[in-house]
């Protein structure tokens, strides 16, 4: 291979993301410098945070530059190495973006063992999404056995791990997801105690019925009416890990109405970005990898075929069309 394909940000979205915000390019494979590694990426991870990076707004990270390769986590195989720590054939994860190949300094890659954990899982349950769940649960939600936890986007790459880890810690786990299929999966496959279909139109009542003892800790991925419904069920001194907020139709975040619950129930809420807590990744990934390898932590993937399918898959992800961790097989 002397060339490879990549996708760059062509323009910033106004409201909904459109396919023409992206541009597919074919570029030459660069020559390696001393210390560098050439990787053939097999999987690209698509994640909601990418939507934020497409905006030119003040946030925790600099915006994605126009005409630069879209940011993204990748898992692949070393094809050439000028770094003594890597050899051809090594399986590695990194942040090589929406690209079939990439050149990286060795420090930007992490070797992974695929003997018991599939390569793609290092982008999901044993990667950033899994760590996001692990961090929010263990560092913010602080669940005790017998407590009730709620997680929105429960069938997704993050939410599915939150609920399973909570069950392993002796909690009642209640999910919120969109659609009967996803809810059935969350309960029947993942082992949550209940899952509320927010599309069924009775979110507040259904959540109340599923949380008879109230809610002690919440993992919030969505915001808006789903967040409001969960706030209404919080018990005194509840903890809220704020991980994501899906924008309303106009691109603005949805307003929160049950603000008073934060005060009257003396809740603690913390927004977090898991990549700022790398010191905990070895501990978290060890637990997550062990659970996946022994079948105690289940996950599901939606795999789009070929890099050219990435924009459509990403737009679908933002609309909740994926079912499980969204990947692109390249």
Give 35 or 214: the residue with its C-beta nearer to its own copies. Answer: 214
We find the least distance from the C-beta atom of residue 234 to its own copies, in angstroms, to be 10
Give 34 or 276: the residue with its C-beta nearer to its own copies. Answer: 276
We find the least distance from the C-beta atom of residue 280 to its own copies, in angstroms, to be 15
Give 7 or 176: the residue with its C-beta nearer to its own copies. Answer: 176
What does DSSP assign to residue 243?
-
DSSP sequence for 168-186: HTT-EEEEEESSHHHHHII
Give 93 or 232: the residue with its C-beta nearer to its own copies. Answer: 232
Give the interface with its own copies as residue ranges (CB under 8 A).
52, 58-60, 223, 227, 236, 242-245, 252-260, 262-273, 276
User: CB of 23 within 8 A of CB of 8?
Assistant: yes
Give 109 or 234: the residue with its C-beta nearer to its own copies. Answer: 234
Give 18 or 270: the residue with its C-beta nearer to its own copies. Answer: 270
Q: What is the C-alpha to C-alpha distance for residues 157 and 265, in angstroms, rounded to an integer?
A: 30
Other Cβ atoms closer than 10 A to 319? 11
Question: How long is the chain?
Answer: 330
Q: What is the C-alpha to C-alpha distance for residues 4 and 307, in angstroms, rounded to an integer?
A: 10
Cα 182 vs. chain centroid, distance in angstroms? Answer: 17
We find the least distance from the C-beta atom of residue 301 to its own copies, in angstroms, to be 26
Tokens matching residue 185: 């999966």
DSSP sequence for 184-223: HIIIIIT--SEEEEGGGS-HHHHHHHH-TT-EEEEEESS-
Greatest alpha-carbon span in the chain: 63
Q: Which of 153, 147, 179, 174 is nearest to 163 (CA)?
A: 174
We find the least distance from the C-beta atom of residue 63 to its own copies, in angstroms, to be 12
We find the least distance from the C-beta atom of residue 326 to its own copies, in angstroms, to be 20
> What are residue 148's phi and psi, to 5 degrees?
-105, 130
Give 51 or 167: the residue with its C-beta nearer to its own copies. Answer: 51
We find the least distance from the C-beta atom of residue 224 to its own copies, in angstroms, to be 9
We find the least distance from the C-beta atom of residue 262 to its own copies, in angstroms, to be 5
């Amino acid at each position: 291979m002397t060339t490879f394909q990549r996708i760059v940000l062509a323009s910033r979205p106004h409201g909904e993301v459109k396919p023409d915000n992206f541009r597919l390019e074919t570029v030459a494979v660069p020559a390696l410098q001393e210390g560098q590694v050439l990787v053939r990426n097999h999987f690209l991870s698509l994640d909601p945070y990418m939507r934020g990076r497409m905006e030119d707004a003040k946030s925790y990270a600099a915006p994605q530059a126009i005409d630069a390769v879209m940011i993204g986590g990748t898992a692949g195989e070393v094809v050439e190495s000028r770094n003594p720590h890597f050899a051809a054939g090594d399986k590695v994860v990194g942040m090589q973006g929406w690209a079939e190949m990439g050149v990286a300094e060795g420090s930007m890659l992490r070797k992974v063992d695929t003997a018991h954990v599939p390569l793609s899982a290092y982008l999901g349950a044993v990667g950033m999404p899994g760590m996001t769940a692990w961090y929010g649960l263990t560092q913010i939600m602080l669940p005790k056995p017998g407590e009730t936890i709620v997680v929105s986007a429960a069938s997704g790459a993050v939410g599915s791990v939150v609920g399973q880890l909570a069950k392993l810690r002796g909690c009642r786990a209640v999910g919120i997801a969109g659609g009967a299929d996803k809810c059935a999966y969350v309960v029947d496959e993942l082992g949550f105690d209940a899952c509320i279909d927010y599309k069924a139109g009775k979110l507040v009542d259904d959540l109340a019925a599923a949380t008879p003892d109230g809610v002690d800790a919440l993992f919030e991925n969505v915001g808006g009416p789903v967040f409001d419904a969960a706030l209404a069920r919080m018990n005194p001194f509840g903890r809220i890990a704020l991980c994501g907020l899906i924008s309303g139709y106009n691109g603005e975040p949805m307003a929160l109405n049950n603000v008073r619950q934060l005060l009257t129930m003396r809740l603690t809420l913390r927004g977090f970005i898991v990549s700022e807590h790398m010191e905990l990744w070895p501990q978290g990934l060890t637990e997550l990898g062990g659970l996946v390898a022994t079948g105690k932590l289940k996950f599901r993937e939606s795999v789009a075929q070929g890099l050219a399918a990435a924009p459509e898959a990403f737009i679908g992800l933002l609309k909740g069309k994926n079912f499980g961790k969204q990947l692109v097989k390249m």
